[in-house]
Amino acid sequence: MDGFGIFLTNYKNNKTIQLPVNPAELKLKYEGDDKSQTVVNLGEINQLGNLKLVDITIESTFPLTETTYIAVDELQEPDYYIDFIKKIQKARGHMQFVVANTKISMPMTVESFEYGFEDGYDEEYKYTLELKQYREFEATKISKSKKKKKKSKKGKKRISPPKKFGVHSSVIVNGRLYMDSNGNGPGAYEKNAQRKVINIATGHKYPICVGINGSARGWVRKGDVKKA
């Protein structure tokens, strides 16, 4: 459906859902990890820190029947959406959070999920979904010996074969982006855009997920991507 819409993609199986009812408001909270301290003969100063993980809270409903405010073309049962979110949370996985027709797109985890009925009305579930930005990290063992450090560097990352690429590879993209690996939600075109490979869904029509700084921009054909 054209227009505003919220899409969630499970990273483990690349399954995508669209939330059936758009929330009344959607706010992303960007907050710095700044600290203030007092310096002698100077007073209080602000020590700038890195950005904290972004938080998003969605408050909306899962209707049992179609209404005029439905955002999807085909409404599913509430359990369809509830099971999708709970499965990611139970597996300690993460999802790609995308707001159609905006630049909002980032990997996120389920921080909290609450749902149920209110005021004795059983025609829809009301829910609150709290998401937190997900950042990939890799622990690196630091060795005292310089020789050991060189050996660990060799085994830290596999070097991609010539003209081939994998997850985390730098690539050049020329083609149209899609919301998921099946080609749903066509988006913008990339032209000679330098990106990073975020995910690969082998056997899908649009198997390569590309992005910037860990945040996915969309899925593209394999032929639209070449190693930088």
Q: What is the pTM of this model?
A: 0.56
- Whether residue 146 has pLDDT greater than 70: no
120-133 average pLDDT score: 91
- Structural contact between residues 23 and 58, judged by C-beta atoms closer than 8 angstroms: yes
Q: Which helix (H) or strand (E) holds 84?
A: helix 78-90
CATH number attached to the domain at 6-133: 2.40.30.200
Task: Please determine whether the domains at 6-133 and 160-227 fall in the same fold group of CATH.
Answer: no
Q: What is the pLDDT of residues 185-207, one digit of tens each?
A: 788 888 888 898 888 888 888 98
> Diameter of the chain by CA atoms?
69
**CA–CA separation, 165 and 182 (whole Å):** 21
Three-state helix/strand/coil letters over 31-54: CECCEEEEECCCEEEEECCCECCC
Which pLDDT value is given to residue 81?
Answer: 96
The CATH architecture of the domain made up of 160-227 is Roll (2.30)
Tokens of 145: 């010996």
What is the domain partition of the chain in residue ranges?
A: 6-133, 160-227
Q: Specify the residue for token string 């439905």.
A: 70
Q: What is the pLDDT of residues 59-87, one digit of tens each?
A: 999 998 887 788 898 999 999 999 999 99
Identify the residue with better confidence: 77 or 1: 77
Which amino acid appears at position 215 of this protein?
A: S
Identify the residue with better confidence: 38 or 88: 88
| Residues forming a β-bridge with 63 | 124
- Whether residue 1 has pLDDT greater than 50: no
The pLDDT mean for the chain works out to: 83
37-52 average pLDDT score: 72
Q: How confident is the model at residue 2 (pLDDT cuts 50, 70, 90)?
A: low
Which pLDDT value is given to residue 56?
Answer: 92
Q: How confident is the model at residue 44 (pLDDT cuts 50, 70, 90)?
A: confident
Task: Please tell me whether residue 92 adopts helix, strand or coil conformation.
Answer: coil
Q: How confident is the model at residue 160 (pLDDT cuts 50, 70, 90)?
A: very low
13-38 average pLDDT score: 85
